[in-house]
Amino acid sequence: MELRVLQYFLAVAREQSISAAAESLHLSQPTLSTQLKAMEEELGKQLLIRGTKGSRRVTLTEEGMLLRKRAEEILNLVHRTEQEIALSDEALIAGDVFIGSGETQTVRLLARTARCLREKYPGIHLHISSGNSIFVLEQLEKGLIDFGLLYTPVDPAKYESVEIPCRDPWGVLMRKDTPLAEKPFIRPEDLWDKPLIFSVQEDAGSALSRWIKRDREKLNIVATYNLLYNASLLVEEGLGYSLCFAGLINTEGSSPLCFRPLEPKLESTAFLAWKKYQVFSKAAEKFIQKLQEVLAKEMPPCRQ
């Protein structure tokens, strides 16, 4: 399977039309159709459902949707590899550093590291992809990111990691006009009869689930979230109380929301992980070196 043909296939998937894709690729429609048909024969699967004579629209089969996802990943890796090889000369330290992370104030540390690094190497650029631990691990495994910021243990046989000495305190995001807002902190029993909004990655074995001291089946979990901003909108609309990290949602001034810490206190520690035996690009190598230098010094506060 040629990379060129994968690009052709993605163009058709994007345009949902062979003729429109052929025009964007500066190919004739018969040439493009022949290439796509050859790909289907090579794979032994139908990838596209062609429209009838009255419709030029094409749709992807289940196999076609899988190929689209994989083709995007393959071409992204090829592009990154080409960049890294082009920038491999020691005399020119430049390139991209890709990090996957959840929503956390610890990202400030990564930002400070990148800022310090760019003072010496202005050609280095930082790219942050946001998602939960499942997303970050998938991206790490596929080689689409260099580092992943995680709050769950990683397999030491597969990953290297460094502990980030910042602590993210947990609490409850709620409306200011709710009865719990009058409390200085929130205890587990305060939440047992309340509508709750949990992160999708919280399971029965998580620290938060242990803190609340009640089986999930007995809790009134009305919604789950992946990104906290969306959860904050659910809270603002009165759907429930969201358990989350501190400092991520503005609760000052005219905001209808407030945040209350947990009692007993619950904090989470982050780890920056990368694949074991990974060969870093020059930019990624300089980034992890600079991060370890920052961690070796007296740490500035990770939260404002």
pLDDT, one tens digit per residue, over 139-192 is 988 888 999 999 887 888 889 999 998 889 999 999 999 999 999 999 999 999
Kindly state the tokens that stand for 114: 């990148």
Strands 267-275 and 159-175: antiparallel
Confidence of residue 304 (pLDDT cuts 50, 70, 90): very low
Residue 302 has pLDDT above 60, yes or no: no
Burial code of 199-213, b = ≥16 C-beta within 10 A, e = fewer?
Answer: bebbeeebebbebbe
> Mean pLDDT score of the chain, rounded to an integer?
89
Most confident of 35-44, 55-64, 290-299: 35-44
**What length is written for the chain?**
304
Quote the percentage of the chain above a pLDDT of 70: 94
Q: Nearest Cα to 142, choosing from 91, 209, 72, 94?
A: 72
Task: Give per-residue pLDDT as tens, 58-67.
Answer: 899 999 999 9
Rg (CA), the chain: 24
pLDDT at site 143: 85
Record the pTM: 0.72
Query: Using CA of residue 37, residue 43, residue 44, residue 49, what is the dihedral sign?
Result: negative
pLDDT at site 270: 92
In angstroms, rounded to a whole number, what is the distance separating the alpha carbons of residues 187 and 263? 5
Task: Give per-residue pLDDT as tens, 85-115.
Answer: 766 665 578 899 999 998 999 999 999 999 9
